[in-house]
Structure 1
Amino acid sequence: MQKITLLKHVTILLCSFVFLVSKNTKAQIVIGTPNLGFSQACANSSFNTYNTTFVFSPEAGLDSSNQFIIELSDADGNFTSPTVLHTTTPGEITTSPVTLSFSIPTTAYGENYRIRIKSTAPVATSSRSVPFAAYYKHQDSPFTINNLVSTGAFCSGGSYLLTIDNPGTGSNDSPLNYPTLTFNWFRETSATTSVFIAEGETLEVTDAGTYFVETNYGSCTSNSYSNRVTISEVTSGEATATIVSSLGNPFCPEQNATVLSTINGNSYQWYKDGAPIINATNQTYETNLSGTYSVQVDLGSCQASGSIDLVSELFSASINVSEENTLEEGETLTATVTTSANAPEYQWYLNNTIISGATQNTYEITEIGEYSVVITETSGCNASRTFDFSVIEAYNPFPDIDKIPNIVSPNGDGVNDTWIIPTKYTSGSNSEITIMSNRGEIVLKTDNYLNNWPENNLDLNSINKVYYYIIKSEQDTKKGTITLIK
């Protein structure tokens, strides 16, 4: 009985040993060094997908819960604090070889990154990949320096400071908006070659030459570079100060005012058509007017000057009506626009409301009101101009009224300026009109009254003047007073 019990214990131990050996054998795999499907990872917002391929063995060694993980080193290739680029779902990968895709982080900026592969069940880690450059290009478009002025000058023994514009003008995407970026300055040695000068956001130039700057994306190619600026050293005389218009020349004023920029200096004075512009003493000057603009730049121990004939592309236009027009009952007024605009479009308005169908350069006006017409140039400058005018009812010197007024206010406002009486007493009615002052002096006597008294200035003051009238007609005689007020 004791032998049988011992045999059973030995059998159990042997089975346990076989199970453990089998389990340990299944729990071990080897992951090969990952192969890169690229030589550089030069990513941006439009593209950030890269592949890696690796093998592992044995396939049977994977647990059903296993996950593969792609880890990225720091810029020096160290995995002290790796970044996880991709993690597969549990049990997703069961066969070898494996190809996985990943994206580099937006903080990637260096030449010696590496990746490695890890598994979770069983736990295993591959060797590091070969090093590769990885940059996330936050800014990948041309940008401007020196306010886009293509020249600069410094006095002999001095220097000229080149800077990256921030923000710059127009659609300029300044790389200074991205704090992680660094920059390399170059000087041209020929039309196709250049030499590295320095790093930084600015460059102090002490040698004449043509300079530009690029965003430092290492060995990755990039479209993040600046315009060229040619710097000269002034040893005697006066240097040329180039002037650049931000909207070009000619420019379209509909796009707002253009900004004139010149070379960097100690102080500035701008001129228009030869006359100094008051308070125009900055490196830039904003205007929407055509003309000859010039600038005087103090460079320290020498001077620079330049000029530009600035031309506005705003089209010319005119209209054949006055700002204020009158319209008799039953009459029409034809308003016509003449313009040099390219492919012009027209829209007429009455009292700030669109007149339906009024889209030609002429319009027949039949009613009073406030009118305007907008002319839009649809080719070239794409600008617009507006003409405003009013149409009022024509003045009737002989309105049909019933009573003789006793108050007149000859102040020139167009309302009650003259003594208007019923038409049965005016010109052609054989009525005699007499008007006297309060002292009995006759100031008007006529049998052809035109509703036009008083015709001249009666020296009105703060005291209202009173006059007397007598109207003799074939029917009756009317008497009364007329008070003149201011």
Structure 2
Amino acid sequence: MKTKQDLELSRILAMPLFFLMLCMSSLCIAQECPKLLSPLDGATQVDVNTTINWEPITGVPGYILSIGTTPGGTNLLNEKNVGASTTYSPPLGLPENTEVYVTISLFFFNRPTVVCETQRFTTGPLTEIPQCTTLQMPLNNANNVNPATNIIWAASPNATGYRISIGTTMNGREIIDNLDVANALTYNPVNDFPAETTLYITILPYNRLGTAINCTAFNFITAPEAQLPNCSSLITPLDGETNVPLSPFLEWTPVENATGYRITIGTSPFDSNILDNAIFYKTSTVIIDFEPNRTFFVTITPFNQAGDALGCPQETFSTLIGCGPYYDMVSGELTVLNPEFTLPEKIALCSNTSNNTITAPINADGYRWYKVEENGRETLLSTTKEIIILEEGNYALEAFNIINDANNTFECATTTYFEVEISVQPTIKDVVVTQQANSLSYEIMTDNVGDYEYSLDNEQGPYQDINLFSGQSLETHIVYVRDKNGCGTASRILEYDPTINGFPDFFTPNGDGINDLWNYLPVLELNNDKIATVHIFDKYGNLIFIFNSDSNGWDGSYNGKQLPEADYWFKAQMFSNKIFKGHFSLKR
């Protein structure tokens, strides 16, 4: 019967290749693993000198690489920490016609390393003999080389081994005679070389197809006998230490006969992007502003007049988690310690108030407000949560949290930029009223230009962006103009007087069925008071037509004849004996 542990192991092994579950106690967190980009998983006929590339995974600060010729094997590379690098070039190349297995592990500072499932590819055969190599230590034609030096050379593509010869004459072999050092790139002589002597070195790369041809000898001159210094090691921080402050104090062990120390620091084992062989004559220094959440690789090489210490190891330390992003073990999500907030790209303030206050939309440990000039220069205005701004322009808010970690205090800040516009309360300058046969139109004019919206008869809206209202009833209306940024509302009452506007201004009796009759408008018949009679006169005062409330109106004729275009007058009498008078136009 399978145990609970067996069943759990079977479940994990059944997971998809690039998606694992990190389980701690009862908590399981989904974790993506990187795919090989080059060579692809399952690729064949891969060049033996290939560089291995994989996809970066967000939130993963470092990778550990193993390469072998069996599933999960490490015989070609055993758990090499490559930092945040996502590429690795095997310095000795890869064996030909071989299935190669690559295991990528994800290194975290605040949780266990995740070992991803092994991927594989198959190399192709060698197709040519190797090329000649170059001497790297000592350099060719170097002088004053310590007799205890090691010999180091560059890798030759396609080489599976090297033969080395050393003598005191060109192509001489009296010190080392065609020694096969296998697939290595260094040779440490059993005995020191003779002092103050010119030495000649021939290195011949080879593979099963043959040996490199026409390779020339390198030479260097040894120095008088002297003792090389030993290697040093880190004291602060210790090799492998984590959670190191971002501006650490570096200290290393003193070496008795060392004149100074060469320090190299990089963000991967192959880089020197922080310090590149920098020389120090003491055993400590301060490095400013390391990147958080990173592993750094340090090599300390003591030196004296005899030369550099040989074979000094590379050491590592990791900086504190910092502001993130990093994985939260409780939520299983990426977390940052910076304040998270947003502000509108544009903020409108009112010109008619002295309290133009903007408040930071988050509680943080500190705030900085800046005015951003056209040349990009930022001027600090305030360090409080609120700020009063009276001028239009570009501004920035920086909110930060103060983090205390590993006896170090630092800020995690977030900055957002915004533009301030000053709005003005609207003022209605005029309302242009246009009357049609049975409706009114209003066009609203303001004294100033602003971001305004308009409503009719209801201060609460709805509002529209257009300042024109058409097809409105023949009655009193109220127009409202509101600043969209909350800087105030203006209004105006538009009185409708039926004694002046209660009848159409014109009509067009041309037989087209539109506006062919002239009559009063229904708005006049209010409060049960109706029209009794309407008399129409020409400009000379002659009575032309009489109609009452039962009539359809006047058709523009007199005694059956169409009258000419002209102005005509009317008198309307209500049943209450109220009289309305006015004039209108006949148009054809």
TM-score range with shorter-chain normalisation?
under 0.3
**Where is the strand percentage greater, Structure 1 or Structure 2?**
2
Q: Which of structures 1 and 2 has the larger relative contact order (alpha carbons within 8 angstroms, sep 6+)?
A: 1
TM-score computed with the length of structure 2 as normaliser = 0.21
**Where is the helix percentage greater, Structure 1 or Structure 2?**
1
